Structure 1
Amino acid sequence: MSEEICAKLLTVPEFLINDCFFTDDSVMSLALCEALLESKPDFSDLREQAVAKMRAFGDAYPDAGYGRTFSCWLYFGDPQPYNSYGNGSAMRVSGVVYAANTMEQVKQLSLMVTDVTHNHPEGIKGAEATAVAAFMAKQGADMQAIRDYIDANYYPMDFTLDGIRDSYMFNETCQNTVPQALMAFFESTSYEDAIRNAISIGGDSDTLAAITGAVAECYYGIPQKLREQGISYLDERLLGVLRIFEEKYPPKVAEL
Structure 2
Amino acid sequence: MLGAIIGDVVGSRFEFNNHRSKEFDLFGKGCFATDDSIMTLAVAKAIMETQRAAAYMSENSGGAAAFRALLGENTVRCMQDIGRHYPNCGYGGRFHQWMFSDNPQPYQSFGNGAAMRVSPVGFAARDAEEALFLAEAVTAVTHNHPEGIKGAKAAAAAIYMARTGADRREIKEYIERNYYPLDFSINGIRDSYRFNETCQETVPQAIECFLESTSFEDAIRTAISLGGDSDTVGAITGAIAEAYYGVPDWMQTQALSYLDERMRAVYDAWQEMYGAPREIFCVLTKYIDKFAEMERSENSVRVHEGETPATRFSGSITVFEDEFYAFTKEYPAYHLTNYADILESHGIEWSERDVSAADVGKMDAQSVFALITGAVRAEHLCGGVLKTFFEDGAMLKWLQRLREIDAASHAQNV
User: Smaller-chain TM-score range?
Assistant: over 0.9
Is residue 165–residue 201 contact of structure 1 (8 Å, CA) maintained in 2?
yes
Are residues 1:183 and 2:208 paired? yes
Can you list the C-alpha shifts for 1:52-82, whole angstroms capped at 9, x where unaligned? 0111112111111000000011112411110
2 CA distance for matches of 1:253 and 1:223?
Answer: 9
| Partner residue of 1:173 out of 186, 195, 198 | 198
In structure 2, the residue corresponding to 1:222 is in which secondary structure?
coil
In structure 2, the residue corresponding to 1:196 is in which secondary structure?
helix
Determine the structure 2 residue equivalent to 1:33.
Answer: 44
Counterpart residue type for residue 220 of structure 2: I
In structure 2, the residue corresponding to 1:60 is in which secondary structure?
coil
> Which of these two proteins has the greater Rg computed from alpha carbons?
2
Greater mean deviation of Cα atoms: 178-187 or 56-65 = 56-65
In structure 2, the residue corresponding to 1:181 is in which secondary structure?
helix
Is residue 222–residue 252 contact of structure 1 (8 Å, CA) maintained in 2?
no
Counterpart residue type for residue 31 of structure 1: A
* Shift, 1:12, TM fit: 3.1
Can you list the C-alpha shifts for 1:150-182, whole angstroms capped at 9, x where unaligned? 011100010001111011000000000000000
Residues 250 and 186 (structure 1), Cα distance of their counterparts in 2 relative to 1, 3 Å cut? same
Is residue 195–residue 229 contact of structure 2 (8 Å, CA) maintained in 1?
yes
Greater mean deviation of Cα atoms: 56-65 or 239-248 = 56-65
1 CA distance for matches of 2:190 and 2:29?
Answer: 27
The TM-score with structure 1 as length reference comes to 0.93
Q: CA RMSD in A?
A: 1.4
2 CA distance for matches of 1:251 and 1:144?
Answer: 25
Greater mean deviation of Cα atoms: 243-252 or 50-59 = 243-252
Determine the structure 1 residue equivalent to 2:32.
Answer: 21
Is residue 123–residue 159 contact of structure 2 (8 Å, CA) maintained in 1?
no
Greater mean deviation of Cα atoms: 236-245 or 71-80 = 71-80
The TM-score with structure 2 as length reference comes to 0.58
Determine the structure 2 residue equivalent to 1:206.
Answer: 231
Can you list the C-alpha shifts for 1:35-54, whole angstroms capped at 9, x where unaligned? 01111227441000000011
2 CA distance for matches of 1:69 and 1:252?
Answer: 39
Is residue 218–residue 252 contact of structure 1 (8 Å, CA) maintained in 2?
no
- 1:82-97 mapped onto 2 (5 Å cutoff): 82-97=107-122
Residues 251 and 63 (structure 1), Cα distance of their counterparts in 2 relative to 1, 3 Å cut? farther
| Partner residue of 1:48 out of 66, 70, 73 | 73
* Shift, 1:18, TM fit: 5.0
2 CA distance for matches of 1:208 and 1:220?
Answer: 18
Residues 19 and 253 (structure 1), Cα distance of their counterparts in 2 relative to 1, 3 Å cut? farther
In structure 2, the residue corresponding to 1:63 is in which secondary structure?
coil
1 CA distance for matches of 2:170 and 2:155?
Answer: 14
Counterpart residue type for residue 170 of structure 1: F
Is residue 224–residue 254 contact of structure 1 (8 Å, CA) maintained in 2?
no
1 CA distance for matches of 2:261 and 2:252?
Answer: 16
1 CA distance for matches of 2:188 and 2:45?
Answer: 39
Is residue 73–residue 80 contact of structure 1 (8 Å, CA) maintained in 2?
yes
Residues 17 and 254 (structure 1), Cα distance of their counterparts in 2 relative to 1, 3 Å cut? farther
Are residues 1:102 and 2:127 paired? yes
Determine the structure 1 residue equivalent to 2:257.
Answer: 232
* Shift, 1:17, TM fit: 2.2
Counterpart residue type for residue 97 of structure 2: C
Can you list the C-alpha shifts for 1:96-148, whole angstroms capped at 9, x where unaligned? 11221011100000000000100000000000000000000000111100010
| Unpaired segments ≥5 residues, structure 2 | 1-21, 56-66, 281-330, 332-414
2 CA distance for matches of 1:77 and 1:232?
Answer: 33
2 CA distance for matches of 1:31 and 1:20?
Answer: 20
2 CA distance for matches of 1:119 and 1:190?
Answer: 34
Counterpart residue type for residue 240 of structure 2: V
2 CA distance for matches of 1:251 and 1:198?
Answer: 25
| Partner residue of 1:141 out of 154, 160, 166 | 166
Residues 233 and 76 (structure 1), Cα distance of their counterparts in 2 relative to 1, 3 Å cut? same
Determine the structure 1 residue equivalent to 2:339.
Answer: none
Determine the structure 2 residue equivalent to 1:223.
Answer: 248
